[in-house]
Amino acid sequence: MRLTPDLGTDIDLGRVDLFDLDLYTSGDPHAIWTVMRAKAPLHHQVLPDGREFWSVTRYDDVCHVLGDHREFTSERGTVVTHLGEDDVAAGKLMTSTDPPRHTQVRRAIGAKLTARAVAPWEDRIRQAIVRFLEPALDGGVWDLAEQALRLPAIVTGPLLGIPERDWDELVQLTAMVTAPSDPHFQHGSRAATLAISHHELVTYVTEWVRRRRATGEEDGSLLDHLMSVRAGDAPLTDEEIALDGYSILLGANVTTPHTVSGTVHALVERPEQFDKARSDPSLVPNLVEEGLRWTSAACNFMRYAVNDTRVGGGTVPAGGAVVAWIGSANRDESKFPDPHEFDISRGSAKRQVAFGFGPHFCIGAPLARLTLRVFFEELLQRFGPIDLAGAPQHLRSYFIAGMTHLPVVAQKRKTS
């Protein structure tokens, strides 16, 4: 997805197809969202197969849809790849469950993922990131986007309790879930890719739990913690553990890599911003927030209207699917002046909603922020100029905004 839009393009909203995968692979959705925010803040589209959905693109409307579970439920599905198919995991998978059940499960799991809880992991994360960056400093072409897909597994695999031998397989499977139409990850049809990846990931966690129960071993990992979680008066069932473990694996693997590659790409294209960050390390936390806003790797989330509901100046009928476009909300001119400028000193960057909003705000956000902060601290400390060594190749997905290839050539930073 082009992250710097061509705002001079004429847009006919009557002909816009937000499910056109080419729009995200080689097109310019930001130019379309800009027009939608101005002229059609509630946009209705009917797909050729009869499925339909409503889109909200303004910041406040996105927060309304994601923040009010009484008006917009998660219990029929939350990702656009399953539009029109009720979620069979509703009420069991944490991300497809509304409060109060969602709150009970989230509170129990989230206790291990607060900023205070993840802070002791910083040294281990830093060591992993230093090892990850070393091959980029040999002067050759290094494909950051391709390599970054493995970064979350390197960082969080030990914390989750996942052995290194399984990392590559799980990275591939999670990519298949989120980009089932991308040729890098597709196996057969889109539907087959989704079915295979979902089955394999749930089976992986199910077998992990079975082995743990059989041996009685514990390693203090997050997946171990899942086995002891109680929601309300009862422990999670093995099915709930498997589904929530699947969700945690998915969340850990699919957004951070694209935030890394998209932010580095923005810095390479704007060397003055790169130099500003290198000369003032105190800007790194804000660089992370601006990178999250700029890339909006989780491009959208979906909800269903419980009743006829007013939003975006119009009405969504009861049962209607509503897609809240995160990528658009994070470029809303009313919240982010000059939204299509990448500015690491932007004062409003912390208002970004890249992690979502409301009850389903990303449970792993503290760990993601820690990982991104450490990544850019090490990058800026160790790297001199970074140049593109080829054109970026964008992910073929309308759910995750990212890259499959970003070849770069880097130089070591000269020390005085």
pLDDT at 132: 95
The CB density around residue 227, as the number of other CB atoms within 10 Å, is 17
Question: Before 29, cis peptide (omega within 30)?
Answer: no
pLDDT at 32: 95
332 neighbors 58 (Cβ within 8 angstroms)? yes
Task: List Cα–Cα distances, 371 to 155, 199, 295, 301, 302, in angstroms.
Answer: 8, 29, 16, 23, 27
**Strand locations in 154-282, DSSP E?**
230-231, 234-235
Task: List Cα–Cα distances, 343 to 48, 56, 291, 340, 373, in angstroms.
Answer: 40, 25, 9, 9, 16
pLDDT at 281: 94
Residue 297 lies in a domain: yes
Sequence-separated (6 or more) residues with CB below 8 Å from residue 363: 94, 106, 109, 110, 113, 248, 251
The CB density around residue 2, as the number of other CB atoms within 10 Å, is 17
DSSP state of 261: H
Number of domains forming the structure of the chain: 1
Q: Which residues of 369-400 are buried (b: 16+ CB within 10 A; e: fewer)?
A: bbbbbbbbbebbebbeebeeeeebbbbbbbbb
pLDDT at 155: 87
Q: Closest by alpha carbon to 66, among 102, 117, 115, 28? A: 102
β-bridge pairing 300-305 and 72-73 = antiparallel
Range of the domain at 288: 13-412
Quick one: tokens of 248? Answer: 């945690």
Residue 3 lies in a domain: no
Q: Number of helices and strands (H, E) in the chain?
A: 17, 14
What is the domain-level CATH number for residue 331?
Answer: 1.10.630.10
Tokens 């910083």, located at residue: 122
Residue 203 main-chain phi, psi, to 5 deg = -65, -40
Which ranges of the chain have pLDDT less than 70? 416
113 neighbors 361 (Cβ within 8 angstroms)? no
pLDDT at 92: 82
Residue 7 lies in a domain: no
pLDDT at 61: 98
β-bridge pairing 383-388 and 321-325 = unpaired
Residue 257 lies in a domain: yes
Nearest-5° Cα angle at 396, 391 to 400: 105
pLDDT at 85: 84
pLDDT at 232: 78
Q: What is the mean pLDDT of the chain?
A: 92
Q: Closest by alpha carbon to 325, among 311, 310, 307? A: 311
Residue 50 lies in a domain: yes
Residue 2 lies in a domain: no
40 neighbors 24 (Cβ within 8 angstroms)? no
315: which strand partners? Answer: 310
Residue 308 lies in a domain: yes
Q: Closest by alpha carbon to 89, among 198, 252, 250, 232? A: 198
> Cα–Cα distance between 19 and 32 in angstroms, integer?
13
Question: Before 152, cis peptide (omega within 30)?
Answer: no
pLDDT at 416: 58
The three-state secondary structure class of 272 is helix
Nearest-5° Cα angle at 376, 153 to 277: 165
The burial of 272, by beta-carbon neighbours within 10 Å (0-12 exposed, 13-18 middle, 19 or more buried), is given as: exposed
> Cα–Cα distance between 99 and 186 in angstroms, integer?
35
pLDDT at 292: 98
